[in-house]
Amino acid sequence: MMLLVEDDRLLAETLVDALSLEGHGVEHLADGEAARARLDDPDHGLTLVLLDLNLPGCGGLEVLETLRRHDADTPVLILTARGAVEDRVRGLDLGADDYLAKPFALDELEARVRALLRRRERGQALQVGPLAFDAPAQRFTLDGEALALPPREQRLLACLMRHGGEPVDKARLAEEAFQGEAMGDNAIEVYVHRLRKRLAGSAVALRTVRGLGYLLEAT
């Protein structure tokens, strides 16, 4: 789940729709005080924050300061008016990871979001039931035992784990797991079949959800 803090209603609706179509869960807040209260909780459970700086209640920089007092890791993408150089610099100094000047193209926003999430995931371990992935070491374990996989199966399984508990269609798997590499639907089906065989007998299932894609979940 990511948090969008933006007081422009039309822009917020557009961004929520666009990010939802990309498969992200999005929570929206339009008030700085509400955002500060939300992010003051160390257990906020958010993967990324998109933060406007000009907000009612309190400014985005104050919201950012509140988050960074206890959380140095959750990526923050600042949305700011074009030309507000001092605010952008201040935001980066306070711990923001990137900024995007308004107006911006949705494609660029989506690309920045993907980049920040990839950067975050490289420093984290992923877990789906007894299946674990140590991203920095590029190492999978199942029931505590090493799970050796060929490179393409590694990439596919890591992508499915990042979306653990939600179905992922073939187009999204091709984009996220095999960026820049031609990968047809049949090839993905082959790799999914192989992964199913490797997971057979464990408490992790790789299911096909008709019309939605593949779902990796603990059983």
> What residue segments make up the domains of the chain, in order of their start?
2-122, 125-218
Give yes or no on whether 2-122 and 125-218 have one common fold: no
Which of 3.40.50.2300, 3.30.70.250, 1.10.150.530, 3.30.2350.10 would CATH assign to domain 2-122?
Answer: 3.40.50.2300
Question: For residue 53, what are the CA distances in angstroms to 25, 47, 91, 153, 180?
Answer: 22, 19, 9, 41, 35
| Angle between helix 60-68 and 85-93 (nearest 10) | 10
Shortest CA distance to 79 belongs to which of 36, 17, 15, 13? 15
Whether 115 contacts 97, CB under 8 Å: no
pLDDT at 202: 94
Both structure tokens of 133:
């992935």
pLDDT at 214: 94
pLDDT of residue 83: 60
CA terminus-to-terminus distance, the chain: 22
CATH architecture group of domain 125-218: Orthogonal Bundle (1.10)
**What does the pLDDT look like over 147-165, one tens digit per residue?**
999 999 998 998 898 788 8
Q: Tell me, what's the pLDDT at 193?
A: 95
**What's the whole-model pTM score?**
0.58
Helix (H) or strand (E) holding 141: strand 139-142
Q: What is the pLDDT of residue 188?
A: 92
What pLDDT is attached to residue 84? 64
Count of CB atoms within 10 A of residue 9's CB? Answer: 10
Whose CA is closest to 114, among 163, 164, 72, 148?
A: 163
Phi, psi for 36 (deg, rounded to 5): -65, -40
Task: Encode the chain (219 residues) as per-residue pLDDT tens digits.
Answer: 899 999 999 999 999 999 998 888 899 999 999 999 999 998 898 999 999 999 999 999 999 999 999 988 899 999 987 566 777 788 888 888 888 888 899 988 998 898 788 776 655 678 899 999 887 677 899 999 999 999 999 989 988 987 888 888 888 888 778 765 677 888 999 999 999 999 999 999 999 999 889 999 998
At 198 the pLDDT is 95
